[in-house]
Amino acid sequence: MPATPSEASAADAQEAIVEELGFFDDWSDRYRYLIDLGRKLPPFRDEWCTDAHRIDGCQSQVWMHYEMTGDVLDIRATSDAAIVSGLIALLIRVYSLRPPEEILATHPEFVERTGLKGYLSPTRSNGLASMLSAVFAAAKAV
């Protein structure tokens, strides 16, 4: 049985992320916070580090694994890049362990509301978009 999400809904998770990132005065502090979040990702099995789990469109290596557990989609992911791992942690916080219907109904507003969109390099922005597409595709497929 998977753990329970920290927040009751994806919308609540987004609000918490906006609030937390708002505590920092500059983007170097926000990047450090993202890196710290990435270090705390749940374990990712070695057997999931395959081409079938790899996310295309990311400059760094990113792998995602999805599985339905009861009525929620459990999302696991990892990356070889520290900041990308932090982005993964944010995505997991918002979307993992939620019903597919909630995932599909939740636009990633936190990306714009935190200013994150403007501070990511073009390649990281593309990678984030690819990871979001993969999450939504997994939610549609179940």
Residues annotated as catalytic are: 58
DSSP 40: T
Q: State the Cα–Cα distance between residues 115 and 27, nearest whole angstrom.
A: 9
The residue whose two tokens read 């900041």 is 83
Beta carbons within 8 Å of 118's beta carbon, 6+ residues apart:
none
* Alpha carbon distance 86, 77 (integer Å): 11
Token duo for residue 94: 């918002």
